[in-house]
Amino acid sequence: MSTTVRATAAQTSDRLEPAVLKLGIVLVFGTILAVLDSTVVNVGIEAIRSDFGSSLATVQWISTGYLLAFALVAPISGWATNRFGARRVWMVSVACFVLGSALCGLAWSAASLIVFRVLQGLGGGLIQPIGQSMIAQAAGPKRIGRVMSLLIIPLTFAPALGPVIGGVLIGLLSWQWIFYINVPLGALTLLLAARVLPRSTPEGGQRLDVLGLLLISPGLAALIYGFSETGNGHGFADTIVHAPIAVGALLLAAYAVHALRPGATPVLDLRLFGRRAFSHAILTSFLVGAALFSSMFMLPLYYQQARGQDALHAGLLLIPQDLGIAVAMFFAGKLTGRLGLRTVILVGITLSMAGTLAYTQVGQAPGELLLSAALFVRGMGLGAAMSPMITAVFQSVEPHQMPQAAGINNVVHRIGGSLGTATLVIVLQHQIAQRGAGLADSFGTAFWWALAISALTLVPALALPGRPRP
């Protein structure tokens, strides 16, 4: 980090200086691009399939390829930051994402689009963890909670806004514009980054853990692919699901053995789990990811299948959740400083459970006003829990370990999301297949499971520190 930012971070004042705020805003822009794109494309799948005359099984790889590319590069974020410098790697990642976006819009076939989506994902997969570690190091431990309230925006807002933006672009223009829109936004982000991001001096000398990378990246990709196939109508008994999950689990187990050897310098340092505070924070992140992403998948699906809404209107019906997130984020940083991480996270989880409770009753056809109010409460809970949760991860490690912590957190968060989504999809499919089970009742049962996942999050959250570390 630059001398100016280091000095700023070292100050004892809780006030956020303009340099730190500008840094956070620029990094948020980049993260919004990557996270938003993971959901905005889902709305265009049918239009793309029709345009190219491809099967649904083929075009599903447009989303799956992007997700797997994310998983492949996420583990190297810590190594790349130390080896080449955070600023350089972050800007190259954004440039790669923008290039991939432009090529996606120019794709001439489903196969070419899938290849370009993988390129896009390779860039997008590094933007979020490196951005998080940069802002965490710049803010310092005392103010990290307030700054993380900025970074929480893309984690919660962008997935919900994706269907709305995608629906508008496809309705007014064409599916190509869900990719072209990233080009001017990405170019603006790069221009701002060139002026705002502090220059960093690479540590150098650290060799890439090639064996570890060959174990963990394919392992994560196989695991996430297996879970994602449940969304295509497959159950855990199907080979296409349990085979990659088994292979992924074996590769990750082998990586754990490799990474924990004495004197090892692994691509992701699992020895951080020796810190109890870090382990509790990561477990909380895993379960919050499971609850967040599974519900983000299930909510628009409910409105489209059970209530007959199109993708655009389903996205608009999720706006109350976005408003709740915005309200909570406005207060989350200050409340964390006063009440401590544990209290704010527990209150947030409780609110998200209260908001989810109304959806367990969808079999009784509750009114849209009640469901909208419940979504607002749920959004407040998510906004209140997510920011201090990420803060807990970074406060549990030393400043030089933050890039590694960011990489681990993003990997675990996505695994939790994939597992949670797969669980709810299996439950929903099982309920629909049962004789006499109505569609709304089936969704109600799936939301009960989402509520149970949120309740599990309370267990590791109770072990988090009550006050920020001095």
pLDDT in tens, 109-134: 888 888 898 888 888 888 878 887 78
Per-residue pLDDT averaged across 446-462, rounded?
A: 89
Q: Look at residue 463 and tell me whether its pLDDT is greater than 60.
A: yes
Quick: pLDDT tens for 222-241. Answer: 887 887 777 666 666 778 88
Structure tokens at 361: 């009753």
Torsion angle defined by CA atoms of residues 364, 365, 370 and 371, in that order, rounded to the nearest 10 degrees: 110
pTM for the full predicted model:
0.75
Q: Quickly state the pLDDT bin for 84 (edges 50, 70, 90).
A: confident
pLDDT(284) > 80: yes
How do residues 332-389 score in pLDDT, each as one tens digit?
767 777 777 788 889 989 999 999 999 988 888 888 889 999 999 998 888 888 777 8
* Residue whose pair of structure tokens reads 């705002």 in the numeric block: 196
Question: What pLDDT score does 351 carry?
Answer: 92
Identify whether the C-beta of residue 64 lies closer than 8 Å to the C-beta of residue 168: no
Q: Predicted confidence band at 3 (pLDDT cuts at 50, 70, 90)? A: very low
- The pLDDT of residue 377 is 93
CB 286 within 8 A of CB 413: yes
Q: Provide the 10 A C-beta neighbour count for residue 222.
A: 22
Q: pLDDT digits over 388-433, tens only?
A: 787 788 778 887 777 778 778 877 877 787 778 778 877 887 777 7
286-318: pLDDT as tens digits: 888 888 777 777 887 788 778 887 766 777 787
The distance between the two most distant Cα atoms of the chain, rounded to a whole number of Å, is 67
For position 65, what pLDDT does the model report? 77
Burial classification of residue 180, based on how many CB atoms lie within 10 Å of its CB (0-12 exposed, 13-18 middle, 19 or more buried): middle
The backbone region for 249, taken as left when phi is positive above 0, alpha when psi lies in -120 to 50, beta otherwise, is alpha
Rounded distance between C-alpha atoms, residue 36 and residue 59, angstroms = 19
Question: How far apart are the C-alpha atoms of 178 and 438, rounded to whole Å?
Answer: 35
Per-residue confidence (pLDDT) for residue 54, from 0 to 100: 74
Query: ∠ CA 137-183-228 to the nearest 5 degrees?
Result: 75
Kindly write down the DSSP assignment for every residue of 307-337, as one continuous string.
S---HHHHHHTTHHHHHHHHHHHHHHHHHHH
One-letter amino acid at 422 equals A
Using a 10 angstrom Cβ sphere, with 0-12 exposed, 13-18 middle and 19 or more buried, the burial of residue 76 is buried
